Amino acid sequence: MAQALADGAVEELQADFDGEVILPEDSTYDEACRVFNSMIDRRPAVIARCASADDVVATVNLARESDLEVAVRSGGHSVAGLSICSNGILIDLAGLKEVDIDPNAGIARTGGGVLWGEFDKATQEHGLHTPGGRVTTTGVGGFTTGGGYGWTSSKHGLTCDNLVSAEVVTADGRVLNVSEEENEDLFWGIRGGGGNFGVVTRFDFDLHQLGPIVLAGLALWPLERANEILRAWRDYVDGAPDELSTACVILTAPPEEFVPEHMRGQPVLGMAAMYVGDPEEGAPVVQPLKELGPEVDLIGPMPYTEFQAILDPSAPPGYRNYWRGEYLSGLSDKAIDTFVEHAPVTTATAPPFSQMIIFRLGGGVSAIDDDATAFSHRDADYMFHPISVWEDPADDERVIAANREFAAAMRPFGTGAVYLNFTREEDRVRDAYGDEKYRRLVAMKDKYDPRNLFRGNQNIQPSPKAGAAATA
């Protein structure tokens, strides 16, 4: 660290810091380095747990002046490990926890370190919500800047579509307010462009009425019925209203009392469903799915916050994770057959938490013009999302190979595009945007971060010309 940072630089940062500066010799350092995916083991030179935008500015300035890589952490859920760096500076937003609700205006003002469970708790006190993460410990920051598919996105769009303004600290240490009326290009870029253009310290979201009780839950079928149920699901949801949010998954049935004994520990087909609206109005919409005869039917009235947390047990922290997020061009019979053929095998390589998912995305996403934000590929109807979760490092090669083989088998049914929030592959950034939009994002990078200070992300590299001019 002494070679990377000028003498006294850390002490200078600490002098006026509202939060906490954590160094490798501190007793809290090891815990502060932990992220969701235990495959990631990186050791920053400095962890700056910021409690204000001024803290972020000071840390960004230190990183820029020291030419150190920056990582930014909101919830630490980046499966690719982008929430931490080695030998650089980690900007940990955990101290930016405020959630201020204006129910009359329908706006939530949220600090960059808020987790979705915290956000949902605050907004549901007013019967309001914004589409958010499906695991409550996911951070608002990375989820939103990467796009943000939530359970209610089928009706209300992506999380980034519900962003009305934000506060951003840029690479040169400025604090900018961004919206459709102010710094519009940066506002466009942070809605899907990830952390490439700055650190978002505050998000202001539109709120929608929902809850506190919703019609939602899970259902399970024996695996031998998977082809039949998936076809019936597809045929129904393709014509269902956008208020119906669903996903199907092949997973290992848990050893819970609500699961019949013969299904426990076995690969099964699951379905998650929620009606994004009044539960009574949703009952006839959800009923055709219940009539498919699941052996476990837990779909019924429940608190919205409970449904938002329903996947938490299947996403435990501290395990090794390998995910993908690939868009499908429809869901043909052949795609279903391929999915059912490969999903149980891939799940079995790393039980019990692995799960192979297909999400129905819905019209709330495609209703937004593709050029309106940096986020792309809104025309896809489905997403293929294989999640492999395991514990033993000795299994890394085997489990990752199985996941990749599954993805290769499904590739003929894909669009070729990816969702970066779910993607471990480092060479897929251009695939997430397409050539034309990627060029626009490079021009933005040239303007806001020509030296690529914010490179610890799904990185959009500045042009060589801009980089050379910035370092001259």
Domain ranges for the chain, please list them.
Answer: 9-92, 99-209, 213-422
Share of the chain above pLDDT 90, in %: 90
| Residue range 9-92, CATH number | 3.30.43.10
pLDDT per residue as tens digits for the range 112-150 = 999 999 999 999 999 999 999 999 999 999 999 999 999
pLDDT given at position 230: 98
The single-letter code of the amino acid at 438 is Y
CATH number assigned to the domain covering 213-422: 3.40.462.20
CB 23 within 8 A of CB 132: no
* 0.85 exceeded by pTM: yes
Q: Residue written as tokens 């995916």?
A: 37
Q: Tell me the per-residue pLDDT of 340-354, one tens digit each, with 9 for 90 and over.
A: 999 999 999 999 999
* Higher per-residue pLDDT: 329 or 160: 160
pLDDT value, residue 248? 98
Token code pair at residue 49: 């747990």
Determine if the peptide bond prior to 352 is cis (ω within 30°).
Answer: yes
Q: Is 46 helix (H, G, I), strand (E, B) or coil?
A: strand
Percent of the chain as helix, strand, coil, to the nearest 5: 35, 25, 40
Note the pLDDT tens digit of each residue in 67-77.
999 999 999 99
Predicted confidence band of residue 472 (pLDDT cuts 50, 70, 90): low
Confidence band (pLDDT; 50, 70, 90) for 4?
low
pLDDT band at 1 (very low <50, low <70, confident <90, very high): very low
Q: Is 253 within 8 Å of 264 (Cβ atoms)?
A: yes
Of 157, 140, 196, the C-alpha closest to 369 is 157
Q: What pLDDT digit, counting tens, does each position of 294-327 carry?
A: 999 999 999 999 999 999 888 888 899 999 999 9
Give the pLDDT band of residue 3 (cuts 50, 70, 90): very low
Backbone angles phi, psi at 332, to 5 degrees: -75, 165
Q: What is the pLDDT, as a whole number, of residue 150? A: 96
**The CATH number of 99-209 is which of 3.20.20.150, 3.40.50.720, 3.40.50.300, 3.30.465.10?**
3.30.465.10
Give per-residue pLDDT as tens, 422-467: 887 777 898 899 999 999 999 999 999 999 999 999 999 999 988 7
Does pLDDT of 279 surpass 60? yes
Closest C-alpha to 269, from 282, 250, 254, 242: 250
Other C-beta atoms closer than 10 Å to the C-beta of 349 total: 18
Look up residue 189 and give its two tokens.
Answer: 């870029």
Helices vs strands, H then E, count in the chain: 16, 21
Mean pLDDT of the chain: 95
Q: What is the mean pLDDT of residues 39-55?
A: 96
